[in-house]
Structure 1
Amino acid sequence: MSVDAPPLADAPPPAGKASSYDVVPYVDHSVSVAHPGRMAAVGRLFGLEPPPVETARVLELGCAAGANLLALANVYPDATFLGLDLSRVQIDAGAAVAAQLGLTNLELRYQDLAEFTPEEPFDYILCHGVFSWVPDAVRARILEIVRESLSPQGIAYVSYNALPGWHSGGMAREMMLYHLEGQADAADPKSRLEHAWGILKFMAENVPPRAESHRAVLNAFHKVFEENADSYLFHDFLEDENRPFYFHEFASLLAEHDLAYLGEPEGDSLVGLDVSPEIKRTLAALSDDPLRREQYGDFLRCRNFRRSLIVRGEAAIDRESPASRIDDLFVLCPLREVPAEAAGDDVPAPGVRRFATPDGDRAVDTPDPALAAALTRLAERWPAAIPVGALVREAVQEAGGDAEDLRNGISTLFGQSLLKLFSAPPPLASVLSERPVGDPLARLRAAHGREQVTSRLHVEIRLPDLARWVLPRLDGTRDAAALVEELAEGAVRGEPALQYEGQPVADLALARRLLEPQIASTLDCLRTLGLLAA
């Protein structure tokens, strides 16, 4: 269970329409891909002119406690945001945070989506974790709201469980629901979770030897539930409504409401799957219809969840040569070069350079000097977003090669979710100032003991221990020396505890000496995490 998970409520839900989210509030977190700047980047790649994020009007349907909109409103003060949710408990919690931050550009409203009538257009509409979990009538109303209120060049984001991959999730859900039918106390949220968790654990541990593939599926879900908050199991798997969709079914629903599918914010609908060129050519030969090719792609990868971008039906989508429109976008990439001595037995071939994600889970080998030069520049300038056009010019000038090939290489990495594209650079401090200013929302969260906060790159970050102490104090009045002094004075009192050679530190000078490098590295860590405001 997540350490930041909200507790199950002991009190009954407030008067009015009851919501299971009042009793079991969902974990309050932002959604990285549900960022208007990333949505707008996909729109531009497909020939659209989405409104500027900095002054946009943004609507979120099913905003929970508003974590997504709080993070955006905090970073974009000239944009306006409206969030709707049927859980008064969550709306009140989010509104309290907005009030503490003094946000005047955000409204969180207790509202039944089925009864909402938009009064003005919105440039970006977000609907995460709702579409599959509501009745058909509410699903239809969501698409009606998008059609009625989306501005001419606006973009909507809708996530949903996808088939064929969700068949395994449906199996786990049906097994747990069947077990709950026989439990007298299944209506109690805590008992419901215990029974569901217990039957899944029992099945995973006792699968017969000849059903190893089944064991692997159950163990995978058991691990997911262990790593997530109880609210994830309760709502994503045990709610009355949970309707997965094949992509072609979702596309048909869009057409019925005069809407059109644009793409995915992580780019994997732009350049296809991370497979060989031969497989891509075969997929392309199966159909001239890009929407049918999307469905074949889902069959191939057994996709279980989609985050689809939607536009008005009359939008002039141009899917030809998206890489040719990439120059005006801004790119961020977490890949770092792996030294040859750190590659172990899997050493790249001569002339090939390897770049990997910070956790080492994914890597890219490239023989292209221009792409390697571009990735090196992105690493050097992190967390600043760089204009793609300038990056291409600089890399080709340094390493040679063809600019069009480099654009295609960047597009391929985007399609593999190894870099992010934005329509405008996220506002943050990429260089450490003398008196740093932490992101206001992240500072508030950390001051209230939250281990996980949202960066100005709209990414959830789990803070290291010392960073949780430093971040709330970054109000622009303290330099590194002041932070060292404040922490050292507390350390000699045992608040926090500081040890040297196994003994508590009682000497102020020693405490300063020990803490100076730690404060310096923590400040740089907060900078690289995108947690400092410009």
Structure 2
Amino acid sequence: MSDWQHGYVTDLPYTYGFYRECAPLWMDWVALLRGSEPPAATRRLLELGCGQGYGLCVMAAANPDHHFIGVDFNPEHIAHARGLARRTGLTNIEFHEGDFIALANSHTLPWSPCDYLVSHGILSWVNRAVREAIFRIADRGLAPGGLAYFSYNALPGWLATHPVQHLMRQFADRTGVNALSFDSALQALQRLKDVNASVFSNQPGLNARLEQLQKHPKHQTNYLFHEYFNGAWSLFYCTQVADEAALGKLRYLGSATLPDNYDTLLPEAMRQMLDQAPDPALRELYKDLLINQSFRRDVFVRGVAPVWPGEQMALFAQRQVTLLQPPEAVALTFKTNLGEVTGRETVYRPIVEALAKGPRRLAELHKLLPDLTVSALVQAIGLLAHNGALGFCQPETKSKAAIQFNQIVAESVARGAPYQYIALPGIGSGMALDEIQWMALDAHRQGAGTLEAMAQGVRTRLQGLNKSLLKDGQPLTTEPELIAELSRRLEPFVTQTLPLLRRLGGVK
């Protein structure tokens, strides 16, 4: 492995993901929730470790009044990202090939200070020198009051995975980063389990991790290779990351996993223990130990711009939210890191019913629920957003860039591209569509106006890629069967999802 890789896997390209928690509106909500004024100066977002750049392009299309900067050291990633931005006509985004250590040591950065900095998962996959460079870049590239998002594999929850990763890395050192090494490691783990190796009884989570990896979908292969084969793979307690982030003058603010900010969701005995923590850092560590935290999405701030309690509620009252699911499909049971939570029907149903009529400011929702405090309403909104039932609205929606971006992406998916997320300027974020839905959008763009016409259009596109349609694990072979099954799958897309995409500015 050459020096430029710093122990990072470059044999296979990374995935084409999008992470809603990195969107400016989502981070703004976290900042306001934790008493810091959201940034509003430059509307610039920097992503360190942007990978293929697809997620950043989705955000650029969904936020045409922001400017986005992506940095990655892999030239293959940057080539794809620049090509995608060029083909889709995005003008508010730029990509740089750059080594974090070299950038941190340079006299000037090739971009102006930003209000947002995001880095998804990178801390877990790079060595300490690279992590220090990331935080030094944050110190120079993030404006005062700016927000920084870092996600990473956390302790103690990932502790049982350490033997898995070490074994995989050992096989990779012998036979390379490939499917043979991956499968050989899983086979070795299975044999260890079969002979009752003590590591399985001493690490109860190891068996579940092995079963999960044995059943992994094929499309996750590249992600798993990056997750388990990196030479600098690291796990962190939250206090360790906070200590390292101090190099960038960053202070922990809150979690982009919204329910994690609500200690009231924990049992009383656990809350009492948290209240006895001598400082905020230990309180956060106690909580991770109580819930066996395995993955964190931390939001830091580079200088708190305090929002006083009275201002905080007034600012929340002006925030706008919109429903992203049919009202009858909205679940009031929330799976969180703190445990499963069930929302009260008398609180949550009126919120859902009000949003079914259109986007609402929290002030309007509060009028409908006068007995509910604004803070309780904010918590309910956070849990519904966590479930994917609602999104945070943009005050003004400009949809031209997103429509053009989504049209090109739909055409690319119809030609075999593995993209999933559609840009939605109404919420400044993205939403996942499956391959069939993307193909239906492409058919719709080319004139398919009915369910049957869309089904036929999808059938033609699948055929062009030599792909079969499976039902109950078996390929459908006759034309009537194919059209009937595609029509069945597309019916909720045509009647529910497509109108939502139009309302949020993603399609015409």
TM-score using structure 1 length: 0.75
Q: Which residue of 2 aligns with 1:402?
A: 372
Could you say if the C-alpha distance between residues 36 and 234 of structure 1 is closer, same or farther in structure 2, counting changes exceeding 3 Å?
A: same
Q: Which residue of 1 aligns with 2:14?
A: 26
Could you say if the C-alpha distance between residues 36 and 104 of structure 1 is closer, same or farther in structure 2, counting changes exceeding 3 Å?
A: same
Q: Which residue of 2 aligns with 1:522?
A: 493
* Distance in 1, Cα, partners of 2:461 & 2:5: 51
Q: Which residue of 2 aligns with 1:202?
A: 191
Alpha-carbon distance, 1:46 to partner: 2.8
Conservation of the 8 A alpha-carbon contact between 1:91 and 1:110: yes
Q: Which runs of 5+ in 2 are unaligned?
A: 470-475
Query: Which letter maps to 1:122?
Result: C
Alpha-carbon distance, 1:91 to partner: 1.3
Q: Which residue of 1 aligns with 2:137?
A: 145
* Distance in 2, Cα, partners of 1:354 & 1:512: 31
* Distance in 2, Cα, partners of 1:104 & 1:504: 45
Q: Which residue of 2 aligns with 1:132?
A: 124
Q: Which residue of 1 aligns with 2:472?
A: none
Conservation of the 8 A alpha-carbon contact between 1:266 and 1:420: no
* Distance in 2, Cα, partners of 1:528 & 1:18: 47
Query: Which letter maps to 2:215?
Result: E
Q: Which residue of 1 aligns with 2:441?
A: 471
* Distance in 2, Cα, partners of 1:261 & 1:304: 18
Higher RCO (CA-CA < 8 Å; seq separation 6+): 2
Could you say if the C-alpha distance between residues 391 and 224 of structure 1 is closer, same or farther in structure 2, counting changes exceeding 3 Å?
A: farther
Conservation of the 8 A alpha-carbon contact between 1:66 and 1:91: yes
Conservation of the 8 A alpha-carbon contact between 1:385 and 1:426: no
Alpha-carbon distance, 1:274 to partner: 3.2
1:251 counterpart (236, 242, 259): 242
Alpha-carbon distance, 1:224 to partner: 4.0
Matched residue SS, 1:153? strand
Alpha-carbon distance, 1:231 to partner: 2.1
Conservation of the 8 A alpha-carbon contact between 1:62 and 1:86: yes
Alignment of 1:220-231 (within 5 A): 220-224=209-213, 226-227=215-216, 229-231=220-222
Could you say if the C-alpha distance between residues 419 and 253 of structure 1 is closer, same or farther in structure 2, counting changes exceeding 3 Å?
A: farther
Conservation of the 8 A alpha-carbon contact between 1:22 and 1:88: no
* Distance in 2, Cα, partners of 1:453 & 1:490: 16
Alignment of 1:331-410 (within 5 A): 331=321, 355-356=332-333, 365-367=342-344, 369-378=346-355, 380-381=356-357, 385-393=359-367, 395-396=368-369, 401-404=371-374, 406-407=376-377, 409-410=379-380
C-alpha distance after superposition, 1:264-294 (max 9, x if no partner):
112234222632244323321333x222211
Conservation of the 8 A alpha-carbon contact between 1:335 and 1:356: no
* Distance in 2, Cα, partners of 1:335 & 1:80: 29
C-alpha distance after superposition, 1:450-478 (max 9, x if no partner):
4651132645524263x243211344x74
* Distance in 2, Cα, partners of 1:82 & 1:315: 24
Q: Which residue of 2 aligns with 1:7?
A: none
2:449 counterpart (480, 483, 486): 480
Q: Which residue of 2 aligns with 1:350?
A: none
Conservation of the 8 A alpha-carbon contact between 2:270 and 2:290: no
Q: Which residue of 2 aligns with 1:274?
A: 265
Query: Which letter maps to 2:139?
Result: R
Alpha-carbon distance, 1:328 to partner: 2.5
* Distance in 2, Cα, partners of 1:232 & 1:491: 29
C-alpha distance after superposition, 1:8-30 (max 9, x if no partner):
xxxx99x9869855421111111
Which shows bigger deviation, 483-492 or 164-173?
A: 483-492
C-alpha distance after superposition, 1:413-443 (max 9, x if no partner):
36976766637369599xxxxxx99933542
Matched residue SS, 2:154? strand
Matched residue SS, 1:23? coil
Q: Which runs of 5+ in 1 are unaligned?
A: 1-11, 340-352, 430-435
* Distance in 1, Cα, partners of 2:460 & 2:345: 54
* Distance in 2, Cα, partners of 1:298 & 1:401: 33
Query: Which letter maps to 1:480?
Result: G
Conservation of the 8 A alpha-carbon contact between 2:45 and 2:116: yes
* Distance in 1, Cα, partners of 2:14 & 2:148: 22
TM-score using structure 2 length: 0.78
Matched residue SS, 2:57? helix
Alignment of 1:10-159 (within 5 A): 21-52=9-40, 56-116=43-103, 117-118=108-109, 119-159=111-151
Alignment of 1:494-513 (within 5 A): none
* Distance in 2, Cα, partners of 1:517 & 1:211: 44
C-alpha distance after superposition, 1:188-228 (max 9, x if no partner):
53433333333234334554699557575234244146325
* Distance in 1, Cα, partners of 2:493 & 2:189: 41
Matched residue SS, 1:58? strand
Task: Determine which structure has more spread, i.e. the larger CA radius of gyration.
Answer: 1
Alpha-carbon distance, 1:315 to partner: 4.3
Q: Which residue of 1 aligns with 2:320?
A: 330
Does residue 447 (structure 1) correspond to residue 414 (structure 2)? The answer is yes
Could you say if the C-alpha distance between residues 39 and 159 of structure 1 is closer, same or farther in structure 2, counting changes exceeding 3 Å?
A: same
* Distance in 1, Cα, partners of 2:311 & 2:210: 39
Q: Which residue of 2 aligns with 1:533?
A: 507
Query: Which letter maps to 1:533?
Result: V
Conservation of the 8 A alpha-carbon contact between 1:207 and 1:215: no
* Distance in 1, Cα, partners of 2:398 & 2:202: 46
Does residue 261 (structure 1) correspond to residue 252 (structure 2)? The answer is yes
Could you say if the C-alpha distance between residues 112 and 172 of structure 1 is closer, same or farther in structure 2, counting changes exceeding 3 Å?
A: same
Could you say if the C-alpha distance between residues 494 and 442 of structure 1 is closer, same or farther in structure 2, counting changes exceeding 3 Å?
A: closer
* Distance in 2, Cα, partners of 1:173 & 1:265: 26
Could you say if the C-alpha distance between residues 80 and 241 of structure 1 is closer, same or farther in structure 2, counting changes exceeding 3 Å?
A: same
Does residue 309 (structure 1) correspond to residue 299 (structure 2)? The answer is yes
Matched residue SS, 1:326? helix
Alpha-carbon distance, 1:411 to partner: 5.9
Could you say if the C-alpha distance between residues 298 and 172 of structure 1 is closer, same or farther in structure 2, counting changes exceeding 3 Å?
A: same
* Distance in 1, Cα, partners of 2:499 & 2:119: 30
Q: Which residue of 1 aligns with 2:164?
A: 172
Conservation of the 8 A alpha-carbon contact between 2:153 and 2:236: yes
C-alpha distance after superposition, 1:117-158 (max 9, x if no partner):
424111111111211221212111111111112122221111
Conservation of the 8 A alpha-carbon contact between 2:44 and 2:116: yes
Query: Which letter maps to 1:308?
Result: D
* Distance in 2, Cα, partners of 1:304 & 1:210: 19
Matched residue SS, 2:18? coil
Matched residue SS, 1:523? helix
* Distance in 2, Cα, partners of 1:137 & 1:96: 31
Matched residue SS, 1:308? strand
* Distance in 2, Cα, partners of 1:233 & 1:493: 29
Percent of aligned pairs with the same residue?
Answer: 22
Could you say if the C-alpha distance between residues 222 and 232 of structure 1 is closer, same or farther in structure 2, counting changes exceeding 3 Å?
A: farther
* Distance in 2, Cα, partners of 1:215 & 1:296: 21
